[in-house]
Each structure stands twice: as C-alpha cells, then as structure tokens.
Amino acid sequence: MTLAIILGLLTGLSLGLTGAGGGILAVPALMLGLGYDMTSAAPVALLAVGAAALVGALDGLHKHIVRYRAAVFMALMGALMTSAGIRISHALPEQLLVTVFAIIMLWIASKMLRRPAERAQSLPPCRLNPDTGRLSWTGAGTATLAGIGAVAGLFSGMLGVGGGFLIVPALKRFSNLGMHSIVATSLMLIALISLSASAISLAHGTLIPASGWVFVGAAMAGMALGRQVAPHIAPERLQQGFSVLTAVVAVIMLARSYLL
C-alpha cells in the first residue's frame, strides 16, 4: 500500500503542477509499479485523475478562473465519445494499446520540450468578448470546443487518460484565454470526462481493488499539494522535467511490452 500512496501522490502532484500530466502517468504507474495490466489500470487511472482534477477545479472555481460553461459543453461532447473509446480498448490487443499510448507520450514529450510558438496574428476561433469578459459562442468557436471535447473523450475511454495533454495545448492554440484560466478549465473538463468515464466503466461491472482506492485518495492529496506549489516553480522547468519523465516512462513501457 505504501507504493500505491507514493505513486498516487506523484500522479496527483504532476496533474496539479501542469494541468495535463496526471492521466499520462497514472496508467504507467499502475502497470509498472503495482502490476496492473492495461485493461485493469485504465478505470483506476480514470477515477484517480477525475477525483484529483475535481479538487483542482474546485480551487479554480473558488478563484473565478474556470470557464465552466465551456468545460461543461466540452465534457458533454466528450461523454458521447467515451463509450466508443472503451469499446475500442476491449477490442484491441493490449500490446497495440500500449504501443499507441507510448507513441502519444513520446509525441507529447517532444512538444513540451519545444519553445512555445508565438500566437498567430489572426484571431483564434475561441476568444473572449472584450465587453463581457466571457467567451463568445460563435459558430467556429463552438465547433472547435466540440472537437476538443470529443477527442478528449475518445482518448479518455480508450487509454484511461483524462485528456489534459490534448486540452491544454488545444486551448492555448485555439483561444486567447490566459494560462491560469486554461489550466483551471482543463482540470474541470478532465474531472467531468474522467468521472463520467469511470461511472460508465463501473456500471459495466469494473471492480476497483483496495490498492486502487488508496491510489485514488493519494492522487487527490497530491493534487492539493501541486496547486499550492505550482506558483513557486518556473513553468519552463516544469515542462522540461515532465517531458523527460514522460519520455522515459514511454520507453520503459515499450521495452516491457516487447522485450520482457
């Protein structure tokens, strides 16, 4: 149980610091650290990431930096795709799922190591109304938010991740929201998508072992710690450290799947 606590704390801490890392690390932590297979790790990871993200989202709501209407809308779009993702996860061989997951992790690591590109001169489709300070629900903006939510939901069901690794860069690319607002909104969306996917999985008869519940509780504690520590660490250092860790875990997963 001690290892479950440590791994859960680290998972929640990474999610709290980056707004996007918990889901990527939760599945490998459960597989490599606690001996879960991919199918059994996914629902535990979803529950842990969802519960931890909820802690962060509540903190963002308290600070009035969550775009909750956008988060709920994207979550609804994601929920429509979650069941499809779960069906895909049960239909494909575990080695293929691990390979896809590792490739995504390596891609994320490479993106995070690069310097952030300058914002394009053209207005993004999702932008704030300067008069009200709220998002303008234009046709292009609504379609963009729907697409982000749908893709996040699909990966949530298929790979047991919250989708933050897609949500954060997507909102940075397609909106003019500030980074603090993006992270808080991402956490709320991750919570809604992950917890809805967990509910579907549990309704289908999935059982969470005792070590899984310990992992979930520790992840929530790690999130609370991460939200307190994040303002005191340079974002560039966080991105660099997380990208290196993500790449290392991806390589270990591939080696374990193909060589062991």
pLDDT level of residue 117 (50, 70, 90 thresholds): very low
Q: For the chain, give the percent of residues with pLDDT over 70.
A: 91
- The answer to whether residues 100 and 217 touch, using CB atoms and an 8 Å cutoff, is no
- The two tokens of residue 14 are 């990474």
Number of helices and strands in the chain (H, E)? 11, 0
212 vs 238: CA distance, rounded Å = 27
Q: How confident is the model at residue 65, as a pLDDT? A: 86
Q: Is 171 exposed, middle or buried (0-12, 13-18, 19+ CB in 10 A)?
A: buried
Q: How confident is the model at residue 94, as a pLDDT? A: 77
C-alpha closest to that of 165 among 189, 141, 145 = 189
65 vs 59: CA distance, rounded Å = 9
pLDDT level of residue 222 (50, 70, 90 thresholds): very high
- The two tokens of residue 104 are 């995504």
Q: For the chain, give the percent of residues with pLDDT over 90.
A: 23
186 vs 19: CA distance, rounded Å = 7
Q: How confident is the model at residue 160, as a pLDDT? A: 62
Among 3-7, 23-27, 159-163, 166-170, name the one with the lowest average pLDDT: 159-163
Residue 161 has pLDDT above 70, yes or no: no
Q: How confident is the model at residue 121, as a pLDDT? A: 54
- DSSP letter (8 states) at residue 115: P
Q: What is the mean pLDDT of residues 146-158?
A: 85
Sign of CA dihedral 234, 116, 74, 20: negative
- The answer to whether residues 202 and 216 touch, using CB atoms and an 8 Å cutoff, is no
Q: How confident is the model at residue 229, as a pLDDT? A: 85
Q: How confident is the model at residue 210, as a pLDDT? A: 92
Tell which wins on pLDDT, 34 or 201.
34
Q: How many domains, in total, are found in the chain?
A: 1
User: Scanning the structure block, which residue is given the tokens 């590109």?
Assistant: 117
Residue 64: strand, helix, or coil: coil
90 vs 40: CA distance, rounded Å = 11
Residue 190 has pLDDT above 90, yes or no: no
Host domain of residue 129:
2-258
pLDDT in tens, 32-82: 899 998 778 888 988 998 899 999 999 888 888 889 999 999 989 988 888
β-sheet bridge partners, residue 128: 135
Q: What is the mean pLDDT of residues 164-192?
A: 83
Q: Is 201 exposed, middle or buried (0-12, 13-18, 19+ CB in 10 A)?
A: buried
Q: How confident is the model at residue 147, as a pLDDT? A: 93
Q: What is the mean pLDDT of residues 12-37?
A: 82
Tell which wins on pLDDT, 160 or 70.
70
How much is the mean pLDDT over the chain? 83
Residue 180 has pLDDT above 80, yes or no: no
Q: What is the mean pLDDT of residues 232-238?
A: 75
